[in-house]
Chain A
Amino acid sequence: MRNERQPKTLPASYADIEFENNAQRLPLVLCLDTSSSMAGAPIQALNDALHAWTRELHDDVSLSYSVEVAVVTFGGHGVCAWRGAQPLPPQTPVSPFVPAHAFQAPVLGAAGVTLLTEALELAVRVVAARKTELRASGLQYYRPQICLVTDGLPTDGTGHWTNAWQRLVPMLTDDQQARKYRLYAIGVGDISDMGEQVLRALAPNFNARLHGFPFRELLQMMSASANAEQRGAGDEVFEKIFARFRTQRPAWEA
C-alpha cells in the first residue's frame, strides 16, 4: 500500500491540529531494596540496568508518553520516594510519577536496613494517589504495575527481622483481587527460603527467586508487561511473560 509510511511529523494538511498530552497512563512503581546487602556489584548492576532501561523507554514510541515511572527505595534509615533522579522529602505532597519520556534514573547507593513493609505501603499509597489525580484531570489509565525487588528479609528500623510484613497481606490480597494493580515480587542474589516465602505471600501470582542480579531482564519484563497491558492482553499473557522471565529466557515477544 502506498500509505504505509510512518511519519514522525504530521502531514502538512493536518499540521494545525493541536494535541494535549492526554495519552492513557500506565503508572509503574519500582520498589527497590537498597539496603546494605545490595552494596557493591549488585547496586552497580541495578544502576546500570536502570540507566539502560531509561534510554529504551525514551525511544519507545508507544510507552514513552503512556508509562509513568515512580521509584521507591528501602535502605539507609528508611524508605524514600524518588521523582526521577530526585529523592523527595518524606510526607511531601509532590507525586513521584514522571512520564517515561522525561524519566531520569536515580543513582542509588546501598546501605542500612530493609524496611520492605513500609516501602510497599508507600508504593501502594502513591499508586492510589496517582489514580485519584488522573481521574480528577480526566485522564484514562491502565492497571498500574508495582515491582518489588529485594535480596533479603524485611527488617525493622534497627535491622532486626520482623514479621510486620504480614499486616500487608490482607490488604494486598484484596487489592490484587480487586485488580487495583499488578504486584510483582522478585527475590534476587542470595535471598533465603524464608525471604522467598515472604514474596510468595505478598504476590501470589507474580513472584520469583532468581539467581544473581538480572535487573536488565527484570526491567525488560516490566516493559513487556506494560505493552501487554496496553494491548488489552488477557491474564494468561502476563503469566506467560512472567514465566519466561522466571526461567530467564529473553524472548519476550513470542
Chain B
Amino acid sequence: MSATWRVHGLSVEGYRHRQSGVPCQDAWGQAVSDAVTVLAVADGAGSRSRSDEGSRLAVDLATEHFARRAAEPCPPGEAACTLLADAFRAVCKEFLHRTGGEAYDFATTLTVVVLTPAWLGHLSVGDGFVVLRAGRGRDGERLFHLLPQPAAVSEYSNETVFLTSPGAEDRVSTACVLDDGVDGVLLSTDGLAQAALGGRPPVPNASFTSAVLRSLDIPGADPEEDEDDLAALLRSDRLTALNGDDKTLLRAVRT
C-alpha cells in the first residue's frame, strides 16, 4: 500500500461567528516529510479573547514538534505513545512560553495524528476527534472507526479541557494504531461532532465520513471548486442546525 497521503484541510467560521463578525477560532495544519505526515486541528475556546491566535499557535507548534520527533525511527506501541506524550509536553512548554502570562486568553484544544510507515499515532486534548477508514464489512462496505477520546470533563457538551488547562497532560488521550489497512483519516474539532458521529457510545456516521473522504479519493478537475463544495457543506443550514460552532475538517487518503 502507498506510503504517501493526499491531504486537504479546511476551517470555516460558524454561524454565530459569521453573524457577529468574529473570526474563525479553529485552525488546522500539516507537516509532510519523506516518511512522516503530521496532521493537527485545534479549536480555540469561544470564551477566550485571543483563542483564534491560540489555535493557530497550537497547530503550528504541534506540526513542528511532532514531525521533528517522529522523523527518528521509533517502534510502535509504548515507545510511540511516549514519543507523542514528549512531543505534547514540548508543545505545551513552548505554547506557555510564547503566550507568557496571557496563556488563559489563548486557550485551545489540540488533536494530532502522526502517520509513519510503521504506525499511526494519535494524541488529543479536549473534544476534537479522529475517524479512520480501514477494512470492509460483510457486504464490502467501508468501515469507519472513531479513535478513543479523552473522558468528558462535565455533563455539558460545551465544556472541555484546553492545552492551557491545569493538569492538561493528565487529560490527554494517546493511541498507537498498527493497521496498514488504514487508508483514510479524518480529524475534526467538535463543531462537526454531531454531523460525523452519532449514538451512544458514539460511532462514526458512515454516510458523512465516506462522502467527505470520497471527494478526496477522487478529486474533481478544479481543486477550488472542490474546496467551495466542501465549504458549502460545512456552512450549510443542515450542519449549522446541528452545531453553530466553527467547523474544521482535515482529511488524508492514501494515494
Using a CB–CB distance below 8 Å, which chain A residues touch chain B? 2-11, 13-14, 16-24, 61-62, 64-66, 131, 135-138, 140-143, 179, 227, 229-234, 237, 253
A101, closest chain B residue (CB): B241
In the assembly, what is the distance between CA of A65 and CA of B242, in Å?
Answer: 7
B46, closest chain A residue (CB): A232
Give the interface size class of chain B.
Answer: 35 or more
Q: Point out the residue from B16, B201, B224 that lies within 8 Å of A227, measured CB to CB.
A: B16
Q: Which label, helix, strand, loop or mixed, suits the secondary structure of the B interface?
A: helix
- Measured between C-beta atoms, what is the minimum distance from A152 to chain B in Å? 34
**Other A-B pairs beyond A2-B224, A17-B233, 20, CB < 8 Å:** A4-B231, A7-B232, A13-B211, A13-B220, A14-B211, A14-B215, A14-B230, A14-B233, A16-B211, A17-B207, A23-B194, A61-B240, A135-B155, A138-B199, A140-B157, A140-B194, A141-B157, A230-B16, A231-B158, A237-B47
- Measured between C-beta atoms, what is the minimum distance from A1 to chain B in Å? 8
Known A22-B194, A22-B242; contact A232-B158, beta-carbon cutoff 8 A: yes
A233, closest chain B residue (CB): B47
In the complex, chain A residues whose CB is within 8 Å of the CB of B198: 20, 22, 138
Known A22-B194, A22-B242; contact A10-B156, beta-carbon cutoff 8 A: no
In the assembly, what is the distance between CA of A8 and CA of B208, in Å?
Answer: 17
Q: Is the CB of B45 within 8 A of A232?
A: yes
In the complex, chain A residues whose CB is within 8 Å of the CB of B31: none
Q: Is the CB of A232 within 8 A of B195?
A: no
Interface 1/0s, chain B 24-47, versus A by CB < 8 A? 000000000000000000000111
A-B contact count (CB 8 A): 134
In the complex, chain A residues whose CB is within 8 Å of the CB of B12: 3
Q: Is the CB of B46 within 8 A of A231?
A: yes
In the assembly, what is the distance between CA of A166 and CA of B5, in Å?
Answer: 65
In the complex, chain A residues whose CB is within 8 Å of the CB of B2: none
Indicate whether B180 reaches chain A with its CB closer than 8 angstroms.
Answer: no
Known A3-B232, A6-B18, A17-B211; contact A65-B202, beta-carbon cutoff 8 A: no
Using a CB–CB distance below 8 Å, which chain B residues touch chain A? 12, 15-16, 18, 20, 45-47, 154-159, 193-195, 198-202, 205, 207-208, 211-212, 215, 220, 224, 227-233, 235-245
A144, closest chain B residue (CB): B156
Q: Is the CB of A19 within 8 A of B20?
A: no
In the assembly, what is the distance between CA of A226 and CA of B95, in Å?
Answer: 32
7 interchain pairs, CB-CB under 8 A: A3-B12, A13-B229, A17-B211, A18-B205, A61-B15, A135-B200, A138-B198
Q: In this complex, which of B155, B212, B220 has the most chain A Cβ atoms within 10 angstroms of its Cβ?
A: B155
Q: Point out the residue from B16, B20, B194 that lies within 8 Å of A24, measured CB to CB.
A: B194
In the assembly, what is the distance between CA of A134 and CA of B20, in Å?
Answer: 30
- Measured between C-beta atoms, what is the minimum distance from B50 to chain A in Å? 14
In the assembly, what is the distance between CA of A5 and CA of B243, in Å?
Answer: 18
In the assembly, what is the distance between CA of A232 and CA of B156, in Å?
Answer: 10
In the complex, chain B residues whose CB is within 8 Å of the CB of A21: 241-242
In the complex, chain B residues whose CB is within 8 Å of the CB of A8: 236-237
Q: Is the CB of A62 within 8 A of B229?
A: no
Q: Is the CB of A14 within 8 A of B235?
A: no
Known A22-B194, A61-B15; contact A232-B233, beta-carbon cutoff 8 A: no
Q: Is the CB of A19 within 8 A of B229?
A: no
In the complex, chain A residues whose CB is within 8 Å of the CB of B231: 3-4
A139, closest chain B residue (CB): B200
In the assembly, what is the distance between CA of A78 and CA of B183, in Å?
Answer: 62
Q: Is the CB of A19 within 8 A of B195?
A: yes
In the complex, chain B residues whose CB is within 8 Å of the CB of A3: 12, 227-228, 231-232
In the assembly, what is the distance between CA of A140 and CA of B243, in Å?
Answer: 11
- Measured between C-beta atoms, what is the minimum distance from B202 to chain A in Å? 7
Q: Is the CB of A10 within 8 A of B194?
A: no
In the complex, chain B residues whose CB is within 8 Å of the CB of A9: 236-238
- Measured between C-beta atoms, what is the minimum distance from A106 to chain B in Å? 25
A10, closest chain B residue (CB): B236
Q: Is the CB of B195 within 8 A of A11?
A: no
Q: Is the CB of A62 within 8 A of B15?
A: yes
In the assembly, what is the distance between CA of A129 and CA of B200, in Å?
Answer: 18
